Amino acid sequence: MPDAVLRAENLTKRYGGITALEDVSLSLAAGEVLALLGANGAGKSTLVKLLSGNILPDGGSIAIGGEGRHLTSPRMAFEAGVATVHQELSLFGSLTVAQNVLIGREERGRFGHIREDASLRRTEALLAEIGVPDIAADARVGTLSLAQRQLVEIAKAMSFDPRVLILDEPTSALGLTDVHRLLTVVRGLRAKGRAIIFISHRMEEIEDIADSVTILRSGRKVGAFPRHSFTRERALELMLGETQQQLHAVPPPPAPPDSTPPILQVADLRLDGRLNGVSFDLRPGEVLGLAGLEGQGQKDMLFALFGLFRRGLRGDVIIRGQARRASRPLQAIAAGLAFIPDDRKNMGGFMFLPIAHNVTITILNRLRRFLFLDSRQEKAVVSALIRQLAIKCSSADAPLGSLSGGNQQKVIAAKWLAFERDIYLFCDPTRGVDAGARETIYATIRDLAAAGKGIILYSTDMVEFPILCSRVLVFRGGKIAGAVSGAEINEESILALSFRDTGTVAA
């Protein structure tokens, strides 16, 4: 490809005796969207880090615009025309959107002082360019939703005016509306001649946006083909090394009988601007889905149950017949709740601590022998959970941050499995997770339901509701717009309720 904007040849990266990437080559033309597929741990993150200057290769070469480049830092990559939006966000919550987008490159006056008004105008223009003018440039990032923060990261990358834009799971935290908006932005950038590497585990997005597809497995390139010859079945076979059964092959857990006493009752729960009189019951062994367009209150519902809103929450939360509305996570945990968040980095675990410590941090009292930690018992608990959840790691002593996103999510789930709560709140648990890891998480949810636990699942992927749930509540404007169950759980019925203007429904 003589007109390649980006060409990588035989890239190799080793960590000690482990080869993370071996002889991987790819090329990318102006105005092309190349989709990069692979299971977690396949080498995608390593390749992205090499192309974005975060790590150095042990072999191979990178050329941008026909010129060989030795990318020793992200700044060098930016200067060469490569900007990356990583899956784990890197924004400062205490700073404004404009301060984050232009950090270190603010508009300045003749005497070096920062011109706040000019920086705000420049940021507003960038936000408008990527199609999100509704995000205020002067808003504190810490007040934004995860989806909004993802879009701010993209605006930050575009502020470098890159020739090559790498989007690592850009839609994993977004609801349906924001996904469509982002894909529209990607199409616009492609039309302007930008070269884009697009990483996603959502096959429908690959089919929608990609011009070509490259597949990695175990650090090697195992497939590359144009979009017109792409099929989901072939992609899964190459990604996982074997033909996979359809996710729908296993039916969802059966609904508990109506006569079963509820384990959780929520009555008229309200939170100014977020929840407007939500009422529902949850029975032991039930997987209850929370669906709807992004930002309609589903996620806030989980946050409220887990005590993440300290003020303003009104209404009743009854757990096993006792009033247990929480204003702190410790109160929710004591009431029997566990929370598996979508924001792994900031809410799920301690990235710098070993896997073992992350798993057992909730059960340290059980593992104590007098005043000391029983390391033998800890090792037994952790080893069993690593096997149960098929966590891929070099050892239980490896830092959580060294794992792929899917394996990080499994570790966070393992922490709560070890603690054995009565009610599990899953907040978009398969965000940024490959097909194999999804199956493991699905199996975990089914096993918990079979053990009589109550499960509440919020997901931005509507395909998951008919796979896992016996009943789904659809939110709109902080209310329950309606409920579907059994064979009625499908994308059409959920979308119909998502756009219906109804009053409050008790479910």
pLDDT tens, position by position, 428-439: 988 777 777 788
Q: Does 34 have pLDDT greater than 80?
A: yes
Which is more confident, 343 or 220? 220
* Element spanning 417, H or E: helix 405-419
Q: Provide the CATH number for the domain around residue 428.
A: 3.40.50.300
Q: 480 lies in which domain range?
A: 253-336+421-507
Task: Provide the H-helix boundaries in 192-328.
Answer: 203-209, 232-240, 298-305
pLDDT tens, position by position, 382-400:
898 898 888 888 888 899 8
Q: Which of 221, 247, 273 is the last residue of a domain?
A: 247
Q: Which of 228, 247, 266 is the last residue of a domain?
A: 247
Q: Does 416 have pLDDT greater than 80?
A: yes
DSSP 446: H
Q: Flag whether 416 is in a domain.
A: no
Q: Are residues 258 and 151 in the same domain?
A: no
Tokens found for residue 175: 């609801």
Helix (H, G, I), strand (E, B), or coil: what is residue 15?
strand
Task: Provide the H-helix boundaries in 171-328.
Answer: 176-191, 203-209, 232-240, 298-305
Residue 29 Cα distances to 3, 54, 164, angstroms? 6, 23, 9
As a whole number of angstroms, the distance between CA 501 and CA 504 comes to: 10
pLDDT of res. 239: 78
Q: Does 494 have pLDDT greater than 90?
A: no
Q: Flag whether 166 is in a domain.
A: yes
pTM of the model: 0.60
- Ramachandran assignment for 283, one of left (phi > 0), alpha (psi -120 to 50 degrees), beta (any other): beta
Which residues are CB-neighbours of 330 under 8 A, at least 6 positions away? 307
Q: Which of 192, 223, 247 is the last residue of a domain?
A: 247
Q: Does 364 have pLDDT greater than 80?
A: no
Sheet of 314-319, strand order: 275-282, 264-271, 314-319, 322-323
Which is more confident, 494 or 28? 28
pLDDT tens, position by position, 263-313:
999 999 999 878 999 999 999 999 999 998 777 899 999 999 999 988 889
As a whole number of angstroms, the distance between CA 98 and CA 123 comes to: 6
As a whole number of angstroms, the distance between CA 303 and CA 233 comes to: 37
**455-483: average pLDDT:** 91
As a whole number of angstroms, the distance between CA 197 and CA 8 comes to: 13
Ranking 119-133, 136-150, 242-256 by mean pLDDT, the lowest is: 242-256
Q: Are residues 96 and 177 in the same domain?
A: yes
Which residues are CB-neighbours of 317 under 8 A, at least 6 positions away? 264, 265, 266, 267, 269, 305, 323, 324, 325, 326
DSSP 41: T
Q: Flag whether 235 is in a domain.
A: yes
User: What does the CA dihedral 257, 258, 263, 264 come to, rounded to 10 degrees?
Assistant: 140
Q: Are residues 116 and 196 in the same domain?
A: yes
pLDDT of res. 103: 87
pLDDT band at residue 40 using 50, 70 and 90 as cut-offs: low
pLDDT of res. 246: 46
Q: Is the separation of the CB atoms in 262 and 423 below 8 Å?
A: no
Q: How many Cα atoms within 13 Å fall on the side-chain side of residue 324?
A: 20
Strand partners, 195: 164
pLDDT tens, position by position, 218-271:
899 999 999 888 887 888 778 766 534 444 456 777 888 888 899 999 999 999
pLDDT of res. 1: 46
Structural domain tally of the chain? 2
Beta-sheet pairing, 212-217 with 18-29: unpaired
Q: Are residues 275 and 239 in the same domain?
A: no
**353-378: average pLDDT:** 82
pLDDT tens, position by position, 195-217:
999 998 778 889 999 999 999 98
Q: Flag whether 345 is in a domain.
A: no
Q: Flag whether 74 is in a domain.
A: yes
Q: Does 99 have pLDDT greater than 80?
A: yes
Q: Is the separation of the CB atoms in 429 and 405 below 8 Å?
A: no
As a whole number of angstroms, the distance between CA 245 and CA 52 comes to: 35
